[in-house]
Each structure stands twice: as C-alpha cells, then as structure tokens.
Amino acid sequence: MLGLPSCKQVVKQSSDLLDGELTAFERFKLKIHLFMCKHCRNYVKQMRLTSETVNHWMKGRKMPAEVRQRILDEFENGVCHNAKKDEH
Amino acid sequence: MTKALPDDSELVARLLKKDSAAFNDVVTAWYSPMYYVASSIAGDAIADEVVQEAWFSVLRALPKFEGRSSLKSWVMRIVTNEAKTRRRKESRSTSLEQIEDGWATDPRFTANEHWNTPTGYWSGDSPDALMQAEELQNCIEKNIQKLPDNQRSVLMMRESGAYSLDDICNILNVTSSNVRVLLHRARDKVLQVIDRFEREGTC
C-alpha cells in the first residue's frame, strides 16, 4: 500500500489541505482517499464551507456609532489633540 | 457589502491628505476583523477600545509606513500589539501556546480510525444559504466565544483573510505547527456546531 491516511488522519489534515500546507505527496495520498471515501469528501467540503461561513459571520459585525465618531474625530483633529496633551 | 478600496499607495496618499471619506471607508471595511482579533486577545469588554487605540497609533505612524507588508496587514499587526499590551495590563494570563488534547478520544471515529458517525448533509452549500437560519448565526457566535482564547485568536486572524499562517506565527509568537493545530481544532469545532444544528435544529 501507499500508506494512505485513515479517515481520522484525513480529518486532521483537512485544514492544511485548505491552507495549501500539505506536501505534494501528502496531498496526493489524501486525494486518493477522498476519491474512495464519500464521508471524508463530505467532511472536507464542510470544512471549506465552515471556513467561509466564519468569514461571512465576521463581516456581519457593525461598528458602534460612537466608536466610529471618536476615530473620525481623531483623524480630523488629531494633531490639535496631541498638541494639547503635550502641554500638560 | 463594503466597496472596494483603492490600492495601498493611493490609499495612503489619500489618508495623508486627510481625505475623511477614504478614511471612513477603510475604518468600516476593516472593522470586523480588527474587532474580533482584538476581542480574542484582550476580551470583548475592551475590544472596541483596542480598535480605537489601534487607529490612533496607525494615524501617528502612517507617515512612516514603508509598504513592506500590505497596509491591511500592518494595521492588523498594530491592533494585535495593542490588544496584547492591554491583555497584559488586564493581567489575563492564558498562554497562547497552550494546547489541550481531546484528540485521541474523538468519538466520531472507531478504534481503527474509520468514521463512527460521519457528518450529515447540510441544507445549504454557501455561507449565505446556511446563515439564513438566524439561530445558526447566534449558535456560531456563542460557540466561537466558547473556544479557548488561543484557538479563537488564530481562527479570527485566519478567517478574516488578512493574515498568512506565517503572519499569525509571528504575531502570536506560536510555532508554525501549533498554529496549524489550533486553527484545525477551531474550524473542526465550528464545523461540528453547524453539523449538529443541521441535524437536530438545536445549538
């Protein structure tokens, strides 16, 4: 045998597959396993979707208005504020 | 969706010229990854403060920005450093290097490492489709909060799309293999949360 990974090892390597962190040989062996195993194919697909979903979820957070205001104020008046601070 | 930002040199030039509209766009576009990275390192309570302080530092340092990394990575590094400083001040002491091990006894697998209970089939095949269920959004949020800090930091940095794995190693001072393990654990956990929701409709 080529020493193909077990299902558990495929799961363990799935993140590295997603991030392009596997060697060519590891990737090759993993692909052969996936070709033969629909459970692992499903898992790897879900791992990719999970990663995209977390990204999507993160983008849903909106900035509180007062935080935005303070940052914009600093952008517009920052130099004056700093000068004032220096005087104390 | 947020609008596309101009490239870095254009953007930096506009910010230095005090173009408020351009600044507002950047602050908006990068808010959520900045917030979540800050929150994973320094805690929710002060995450917005950390973001704010980070922008103040960015504004002070911007004239010296050399473009050795992308502006986005540079800004993120500043947030991370700010968050780490605050973490020390607030004396939270969990080590980022810490890894707990529940891997050997994963009930999803048989003793010879085949699937015992494989993942189910999900109702949607895009984030949009999955997230139509509002309970799932809340459920993901709740479970991401429950992740160990180190897993959460790595997950938020990576999934924000702003960091390479090398960036994450450098910023968090964690070895490359640990970053990969932490990221995998975090993703696998969120995957299982979605899977349970899709099967049972509960969080």
The CATH number assigned to the domain holding A40 equals: 1.10.10
Asked, for residue A78, whether it belongs to a domain, the answer is: no
pLDDT beyond 70 at A68: yes
ipTM over 0.95: no
Taking a C-beta distance cutoff of 8 angstroms, is the pair B50, B86 a contact? yes
* Segments forming the whole domain that contains residue A42: 7-63
The rounded distance, in Å, linking the Cα atoms of B101 and B113 is 17
CATH 1.10.10.10 location in chain B = 97-203
Inter-CA distances, A51 with A79, A84, B200, Å: 41, 46, 21
CATH of domain B97-203: 1.10.10.10
H or E segment to which residue B131 belongs: none
State the DSSP H helix or E strand holding residue B1, giving kind and residue range, or none if neither.
Answer: none
Spell out which chain A residues touch chain B, with contact meaning CB-CB distance below 8 angstroms. Answer: 6-9, 11-12, 14-16, 19, 21, 39-40, 42-43, 46-47, 49-64, 67-68, 70-72, 74-76, 78, 82
Distance CA B57, CA B74 (A): 11
Give the residues across from B115 on adjacent strands: B109
Cβ of B112 and A6 within 8 Å? yes
Whether A50 is covered by a domain: the verdict is yes
User: In this predicted structure, what is the pLDDT of residue B56?
Assistant: 95
Please answer whether residues B41 and B153 qualify as being in contact, where contact means their C-beta atoms are separated by less than 8 angstroms. Answer: yes
Inter-chain residue contact B131 with A61, CB threshold 8 Å:
no
Query: Is residue A20 in a domain?
Result: yes
**Check: CATH 1.10.287.3510 for B8-89?**
no
Closest CA to B48 of A57, A60, A69, A79: A69
Distance CA(B121)–CA(B101), nearest Å, equals 28
Contact: A59, B32; criterion CB under 8 Å:
yes
List of residues 6+ apart from B57 with CB closer than 8 A:
B78, B82
Residue-level pLDDT at A1:
54
**Å from B137 to nearest chain A CA?**
7
Give whichever of A13-27, B83-97, B157-171 has the largest mean pLDDT: A13-27
Examine residue A74 and state whether it is found in any structural domain, yes or no. Answer: no
Q: pLDDT for B61-110, tens place per residue?
A: 999 998 888 898 889 889 999 998 998 666 544 444 444 455 567 889 99
Average pLDDT of every residue of chain A? 88
Between A73-77, B98-102, B116-120, B197-201, the lowest mean confidence (pLDDT) is in: B98-102
Q: Which of B31, B106, B128, B147 to mutate to test the interface with A (most CBs of A within 10 A)?
A: B31
**What pLDDT is recorded for position B93?**
46
**pLDDT score for A65:** 94
- Rg of chain B, C-alpha, whole Å: 19
Q: How many domains does chain A have?
A: 1
For residue B25, which phi and psi values (nearest 5 degrees)? -60, -45
**A67 and B126: CB-CB below 8 Å?**
no
CA distance A34 to B38: 37
- Please answer whether residues A13 and A5 qualify as being in contact, where contact means their C-beta atoms are separated by less than 8 angstroms: yes
B117-148 pLDDT, tens digit per residue, is 888 889 989 999 999 888 999 999 999 999 98
Contacts B33 to A, Cβ<8 Å: 58
Quick check: is A85 in a domain? no
Task: Using CB atoms, pick whichever of A12, A67, A72 lies closest to residue B184.
Answer: A12
Residue A70: inside a domain: no
